[in-house]
Structures are given as structure tokens and as C-alpha cells.
Chains A and B, each alone.
Chain A
Amino acid sequence: DAGVIQSPRHEVTEMGQEVTLRCKPISGHNSLFWYRQTMMRGLELLIYFNNNVPIDDSGMPEDRFSAKMPNASFSTLKIQPSEPRDSAVYFCASSLLAGITDTQYFGPGTRLTVL
């Protein structure tokens, strides 16, 4: 079975450009999570969706970040305009439900570098 799929795996862009990260969750999973990982701040939850609806976006750093989930099999995280401090690894994860027993399975991540 395919796991969580993320694209691109690597993205290098210049400050001010728009960046779009994509995620396809595991088929049948109802919850999707976007995380950011940096050396300084560790793994941070940015936003999570349940049944395509954003439930908690309190981790989204600022208005430059936006996330959508138009259907159960696709989500995007957009940064516009990008800044060098956005450089990080961005992970998408999905779980069957949002209960405490539901394991999150992570995608391979997108390594974003903003110059």
C-alpha cells in the first residue's frame, strides 16, 4: 500500500516567491496534519484537518501560510511570500481518525530552502 506522498521532495526558491507543497494522504485516512521541523524549534504542528475541514490552525505562523484540503486525497500548504526563515522540512502526516489511539503516518517530507 502506498504511504503518504509528498511533493516536491526538495524545493529551493528565492525570497518573495510563492511556494506550494503537496500531500496525498493514505487512502481511507480521515485526518491530515502538516508539520514543520527545524533544528531550533523541533517538530511543530502547523494545521490539521479532519474530514477535509481545518480543525486547528493555531500553529500556522502567520498570514503568509495557508493550507487547503479540497478533497480527501489531496492537500496543499502554500507560503506566499516566502522568507529565508521558512527554510525547514515540512511533513505531511495522516491518520485513520483523530482519536488518541490513531497513529499518524508521515510522508517523506519536503525540504524547503528559501534563499
Chain B
Amino acid sequence: AQKITQTQPGMFVQEKEAVTLDCTYDTSDQSYGLFWYKQPSSGEMIFLIYQGSYDEQNATEGRYSLNFQKARKSANLVISASQLGDSAMYFCAMRETGGYQKVTFGTGTKLQVIP
């Protein structure tokens, strides 16, 4: 089974609208971390937001928030007030306590913001 599943290969959103990028994960660990990264066309990987499995509140960083539903094993990224510069690939990732604590990445979602 995939450890990280991003079911939306591509999405469009109108500028200034909010958008949700889906991410589900699979782990038997009780303690783990979830991350979102942005990869614009220039290629660099930019860290956006982190959620710990024991965090009771959803993480927020500016226009980014993480909708964490532990029972459903989902960690969706919400981008509010989309901007043209948000057009990029977005990767969800998980770090588990087992397996040398290495990070597993999803296949990514390509977001395009329409003016």
C-alpha cells in the first residue's frame, strides 16, 4: 500500500479563491510528522507547513493551513486567497518513527491558478 496518496494529479483554481489539496497516509506508528512542500517550475522544493500526529490543533502558516483528520488519516492542504504565484507542484510527505525515520513523499498535485 502507498504510504502517501495524493489522488489529484492536477487542479485548477481561480485567483483569490481557496483550494484544498488532498493527502491521505498510511502508517501504524502512533507518532509521526506530516509535511507539505511546494515545487514551482523553477524546481526548488520549498517547505510550507508541518503537522505532528499529537498536535491537537491544525497547523497554519499564513495562507496555508493543514486540515488534519487523524482518524481518517488525511492531511489536506488548504490554500486561501490563491495567487498566481501559487501555481506549482505540491507534495505531501510523512516522517515515521520507524524505518530510520525517513520521509516518504506522495506523487504530487499540480496546481494551476487562473487569473
- Bound together: yes
**A residues neighboring B (CB under 8 Å):** 33, 42-43, 45, 48, 55-56, 89, 91, 93, 98-109, 111
Total A-B contacts with CB atoms under 8 angstroms apart: 55
Which residues from B are CB-within-8-Å of A101?
33, 50, 52
Among A48, A91, A105, contact of B47 (Cβ-Cβ < 8 Å) = A105
Chain B residues near A48 (CB-CB < 8 A) = 100, 102
Task: Say yes or no: A100 contacts B102, CB within 8 Å.
Answer: no
Interface size on B, residues (CB 8 A): 26
Question: Once the chains bind, are B108 and A42 in contact (CB under 8 Å)?
Answer: yes
List residues of chain A with CB within 8 A of the CB of B95.
100, 102
- Please give me the 7 A-B residue pairs with the lowest Cβ-Cβ distance, nearest first: A106-B45, A100-B33, A43-B105, A56-B100, A100-B95, A108-B44, A98-B101
Enumerate 16 A-B pairs (CB-CB under 8 Å) in ascending A order.
Answer: A45-B102, A48-B102, A55-B100, A56-B99, A56-B100, A93-B45, A100-B33, A100-B95, A100-B97, A103-B47, A105-B47, A106-B37, A106-B44, A107-B44, A109-B44, A109-B45
- Which applies to chain A's interface (DSSP): helix, strand, loop or mixed? strand
Q: Are A100 and B101 in contact (CB under 8 A)?
A: yes
Q: What is the CA–CA distance of A100 and B52 in the complex, to the nearest angstrom?
A: 8
B90 located at the interface, meaning its Cβ lies under 8 Å from any Cβ of chain A in the complex? no
Residues of A within 8 A of B108 (CB): 42
Tell me, in angstroms, the Cα distance from A93 to B103 when the chains sit together. 11
